[in-house]
Amino acid sequence: MAFHNIVVIGASYAGLGTAHYLLKHTVPSLEKASQDSTKYKVTLISATSHFYHKVAAPRLLASPDLIPLSKAFLPIEDGFKDYDSQHFELVIGEATSLDETSKTITISNTYGTPNKTPITYSTLILATGASSSSDLWHIPGSHEKTISALKSIQSALPTATTVLIAGGGPAGVETAGEIASRFPKIETTLLSGSDRVLTRLRPAISAAAEKQLEALGVKTVHNLKVESTSESGDQTTVKLDDGTSRTADIYIPATGIRPNTSFLPRSWLTPQNYVITADTTSLRGPVPTVYAIGDVAGYSLGGALDIMGA
């Protein structure tokens, strides 16, 4: 009897959605159509035990009473408990290397110790996503670190008088709006880092977003980027690329993302370290039986809607 292991690496929006679809639709259809009684299995590899609903992070930061932490961090295992163990396996650990020839993946557990037996894939789906400069926006191994980062901001906001947010993308813009809406007396400043906010959208949308922020009392400053930060007591001082400095009670970095692809062969990656895909709407990766979906894929613009369009 033949065996086909579909390995999905990554358990955020793209990875979880893919794994569920495979188990509900693809695997049953493949086994039904199989001429040689091939058995199919989905192996989900996740670097963390919990899913983080990070789209809600800006509101979670400013209004924890509206979105409790228990609603934002969900155990991944619970979502797959109804599947047959013959068809599904959850592996908690970080993919640290991949051998293209043997189609094997080395996994290290949360303590950095490699598993004794590498995982072999027949089909590989890369959904490892991207990391940010702050634990607020992703889970760095343990979800407790992200919870701690969130709680730190939540506890500081009620007594803060100044908030400085670096990053004019969706996370920065939404966080500025949420804080200004909930705490109108705080002086909230957003550093866009460019000549407008939301640069991947049309200029008219950028202008409308900035106008809404202005109506909430947010001051948006363009064409300034943070070079370094230093903490003194309860305040943070940021040094900017024009030589000036600003000090705030709360500093929130919301700048840029980097794809989680360090374990992959260099030949699979674009110059920016994203997984090469056939075109802007294809999940097909750089070699046969390898696919990429979500933020890690070369076609992606870094948004959840990319997953639907691919």
| Residue pair 77/243 in contact by the 8 Å Cβ criterion | no
Beta-strand runs (E) in the chain: 3-9, 39-46, 50-52, 73-75, 88-92, 94-99, 104-108, 119-120, 123-126, 130-132, 162-166, 187-191, 219-221, 226-232, 235-240, 245-248, 250-253, 257-259, 290-292
pLDDT band at 34 (very low <50, low <70, confident <90, very high): confident
Phi and psi at residue 228, in whole multiples of 5°? -160, 165
Q: Which residues pair with 184 in a beta bridge?
A: none
Note the pLDDT of residue 26: 96
Q: Examine the pLDDT at 66 and tell me if it is beyond 80.
A: yes
Note the pLDDT of residue 229: 96
Q: Give the closest residue to 127 by CA, choosing from 23, 40, 16, 48.
A: 16
- Across the chain, mean pLDDT equals 92
DSSP secondary structure letters along 232-270: ETTEEEEEETTS-EEEESEEEE---EEES-TTS-GGGB-
Note the pLDDT of residue 114: 56
In this predicted model, which residue has the larger pLDDT, 105 or 115? Answer: 105
Q: Examine the pLDDT at 102 and tell me if it is beyond 80.
A: yes
d(CA 299, CA 125): 15
d(CA 146, CA 27): 34
Cα distances (angstroms) measured from residue 86 to each of 26, 39, 109: 15, 9, 23
What is the side-by-side order of every strand in the sheet holding 187-191? 219-221, 187-191, 162-166, 250-253
Q: Examine the pLDDT at 302 and tell me if it is beyond 90.
A: no
Mean pLDDT to the nearest integer, 23-48: 93
Note the pLDDT of residue 95: 95
Minimum mean pLDDT range among 28-42, 70-84, 195-209: 28-42
Structure confidence by residue, pLDDT tens digits, 226-251: 999 999 989 999 999 999 999 999 99
Q: Examine the pLDDT at 110 and tell me if it is beyond 90.
A: no
Note the pLDDT of residue 117: 77
Half-sphere exposure of 232 (CA within 13 A, CB side): 7
Note the pLDDT of residue 197: 97
Structure confidence by residue, pLDDT tens digits, 179-198: 999 999 999 999 999 999 99
Parallel, antiparallel or unpaired: strands 219-221 and 226-232: unpaired
Note the pLDDT of residue 306: 56
Note the pLDDT of residue 1: 65
pLDDT band at 9 (very low <50, low <70, confident <90, very high): very high
pTM, rounded to two decimals: 0.91
Note the pLDDT of residue 242: 96
Structure confidence by residue, pLDDT tens digits, 262-284: 999 999 999 999 999 987 667 88
